[in-house]
Structure 1
Amino acid sequence: MKKQILALLGVACAALLSSCQQTSSLGAYDAYNRPATKPTNPSNVRVKVSTNNQMAYVMEGNKALLVMPLSVGTAATPTPKGNFTIYSKQEYRRAQTHGYFDHGKGRYTGGYLRNKPAGTKFIGTPMPYWTEFKSGYGFHTGWMKPHPCTHGCLRMHHNVAPKFFALVKEGTPLNISSSQPEDATIGRNIPRPPDATPLPNFPHSYLVTDKIYKRHKVPKFVAK
C-alpha cells in the first residue's frame, strides 16, 4: 500500500512539473515582442522578406520601421518569391479549407472542409491579421518555429502581427527573396521567439471564438 501511494505521488508530481514547464514555456513565448516605429509617410513603406534568414524588414526609405522574424514555407511547400503588392487585409480572417466542426453541445473536432461530417457547422482556423499578397498566400499570426514549417504563408508572432498590420496598407510593395542586403546588417542576431513546437495548442472551444484574435499585447510604437 505504501509503495502504491508513493507511486501515485510520483505520477502526480511529474504531471505537476510538466504542467508548470508548459506554463513557463508559454509565458516565455507570450512575452516575446519587437519594437516598431510608425512611418512619416505611409505611402513610402515597403516590405522585404528574406526566406533564408526568415526575416521581414518593413522599411521607409533606408529606415527600418520593424524587423520581424517569420516562419516560412518548407521546401515542399515554399513561400513564393518575387515582387508583389499587398492587396487585402483582414484582421479577423479564418481559413476556408480547414478548421473545426461544431457538433453541438460544446463538442468540436478538427479537419478539412472536404471531410466535413454531416450535420456539423464549419468554423475556419483563425488566421489573425491576414495580409494577402498572392491568392492563398499571406502574412498571418501563427505558432512560430525556428525552421521552415508553413504551407507557404508567412507566420508572425501574435504580439508583432498587429504592428505589421498597422504599418502596411493595400498597395504596399513587397519583395520576397532568398536573401536581402539587410540580412548582414539590421537582420543579424535578431532574437527569435521560443520554439512553439513543445507548446500545446489551445482547445477547439477557444479557437472557434473571437478571443483568439485579441490575445496579443496592446501594440505600442517607438517615438520617432
Structure 2
Amino acid sequence: MKKLLSRLVRWMAVAVPLALANCTHVPELGALADQGGTSQRRIVVSLGEQKARLYHQGKLVAVSPISSGREGKRSPVGRFSVIEKDIDHRSSLYGNYVRNGKVVKENIDIRKGGRPPGSKFEGVPMPYFLRFSGAYGLHEGNLPGYPASSGCIRLPKRQAKRFYDAVRLGTPVIVQR
C-alpha cells in the first residue's frame, strides 16, 4: 500500500502541473507559420461585429476586436490574400511633418496641403502590418470601440502580433459586412 501511495504521489507531482499548464496556458500562434501552406489558414473580418477571426484547419484559433474604416473611408469588402508582411510598417499617406525632431504639422494626409519648409514626412506607425489590398491591411492600432480608421483594420497589439506571426504571404483574408 505504501508503495502504491508513493507511486501515486510521484505521478501526481508530474501529472497535475502538466494538466494545469494545459488548462491555463494558451499557446502563441507563431508555430502555425511552420505547419504547411496557407490553404489551411484564413482570416475572416466581420465589419458589422467589429471582430477578426483567425482559423487554422477550419478551427477558430483566435478572435480579436477591431476598428475598421470610418464613414467615407470604409474598409474594402471581398476575398483577398496577404500580399505583404511588414513588422515595422509606417503609413505613406498619413502622419506628421517633422523638423529637427519636432512635429510642425500633425495628423496630415500627404496628398492634401503643402509641406512646411525644412520639414520631412513621418508616417504613422502601423506595426505587424498585413497588407491584403492596395493600401489596406491589418495592423496594430487604436481601438475606440467603433469604426475609426482610414480603411485599414486595426487590432490590439497582442492580437496583431499573434495574427502576424501565424500567417504567411498568400493567406486568405475575407472581409465581410
Question: Given the alignment, which residue of 109, 112, 120 partners 1:112?
Answer: 109
- Residue 84 of structure 1 aligns with an amino acid whose one-letter code is F
Question: Given the alignment, which residue of 66, 78, 81 partners 1:85?
Answer: 81
- Residue 163 of structure 1 aligns with an amino acid whose one-letter code is R
Equivalent residue number for residue 127 of structure 1: 126
1:98 equivalent in alignment to 2:97: no
CA distance in 1, matches of 2:67, 2:56: 23
Partner SS for 2:67:
coil
Equivalent residue number for residue 214 of structure 1: none
Q: Which runs of 5+ in 2 are unaligned?
A: 1-25
- The answer to whether the Cα contact below 8 Å between 1:57 and 1:66 also exists between their aligned partners in 2 is yes
Q: Residues 88-138 of structure 1, C-alpha deviation per residue, up to 9 Å, x if partnerless?
A: 01111111122222221x422323335211111221111111110100111
Higher strand share: 2
Q: Which runs of 5+ in 1 are unaligned?
A: 1-33, 179-224
Q: Kindly report structure 1 stretches of 4+ aligned residues shifted beyond 6 Å.
A: none
- Residue 161 of structure 1 aligns with an amino acid whose one-letter code is A
Partner SS for 2:122:
strand
Q: How many residues align?
A: 144
CA distance in 2, matches of 1:70, 1:141: 9
- Residue 61 of structure 1 aligns with an amino acid whose one-letter code is Q
Equivalent residue number for residue 54 of structure 1: 50
- Residue 155 of structure 2 aligns with an amino acid whose one-letter code is M
Q: Which has the larger radius of gyration?
A: 2
- The answer to whether the Cα contact below 8 Å between 2:41 and 2:58 also exists between their aligned partners in 1 is no
| TM-score normalised by length of structure 1 | 0.59
CA distance in 1, matches of 2:73, 2:109: 18
- Residue 173 of structure 1 aligns with an amino acid whose one-letter code is P
Partner SS for 2:73:
coil
Equivalent residue number for residue 73 of structure 1: 69
| TM-score normalised by length of structure 2 | 0.74
Greater CA drift, 34-43 or 133-142? 34-43
Partner SS for 2:132:
strand
Q: Residues 151-204 of structure 1, C-alpha deviation per residue, up to 9 Å, x if partnerless?
A: 2110011122111110111100111112xxxxxxxxxxxxxxxxxxxxxxxxxx
Partner SS for 1:78:
coil
Query: Identity of counterpart residues, as a percentage?
Result: 30
Report the alpha carbon displacement of residue 48 of structure 1 after superposing the two structures with TM: 0.9
